[in-house]
Structure 1
Amino acid sequence: MIPITDGLRFWRYLGSLPGIMLREFKHVKQEPGPGKRRWWGGDGLELTAWFDDEEQLTGFQLCYRDRALTWNTNGYWSHVTVGNGINEDAGRVGYSVAVLQVNGAPLRPPKQLVAQFEQASSTLADALRDTVSRTIRTLAA
């Protein structure tokens, strides 16, 4: 049993368990400017989706294991490694924010990610689930 010291740690723990459906985090910090960010976690996946003021999807980032697949409606996409956030600068070890690193990730996401996402995503709105699933399927081909 893990000690539950904060909600985010608990949700990340739940998200690491197999078979847990994606659940939406409430009260997600919003960046200044137009649009809205929403965030889900579960079954070893984390999905962040960005929407415009009309609630239309403008992009998403799907994180799994130590990888991040990012896509937006302008045609941009990337598949990168998520660094561990350990800073070893100047001989000191300390923690910082995890960073996206181009080196180390295969160019395209694995095909099995489609099945993992589809199993965990029944809680999402149809349009969002279909767009993310179709995008993963296209990029993994």
Structure 2
Amino acid sequence: MAKLILTHEVTGLGTPGDVVEVKDGYARNYLLPRGLATTWSKGAEKQIAGIRKARKAREIATLEDAAAVRTQLQTQVFTIAAKAGASGRLFGAVTTSDIAEAVTAGGGPAIDKRKVEIGQPIKAIGDYQVQVRLHADVSAQIDVRVVPEA
């Protein structure tokens, strides 16, 4: 078992600043290469306070605020213009940062790209539903429309 400090939110494992114990292979092959965690040490324990302070500044404070943001997000359709071929297939894919920018450009609140979860890669023109984690207990399903770039 490897003892790690999470630097990013990992669904089903924890939030930034949490100290977790995971199997060695999961740590070595997934968490550490992707930069989602760092190895635990006495010195690194001091960094946890800084990580938690930064997380508090970014996240939505209360459950009521998160519910209000969810209502606002779910009533809109956010449009993303992407380069596409004649068949409607995209040159590349729509990323979480593209979705976060589209929400901000569409008049929604600024959301962190790390809170956006895409179920299947978006690689074609069309309408999609994307999950956004707003709070530990609140998440929103937002509608994203991908259109060809003019």
Which TM-score applies when normalising by structure 1?
Answer: 0.25
Question: Which is bigger in relative contact order (C-alpha 8 A, separation at least 6)?
Answer: 2
TM-score w.r.t. structure 2 length? 0.24
Determine which structure has the larger helix proportion and give its number.
Answer: 2
In terms of Rg, which structure is larger?
A: 2
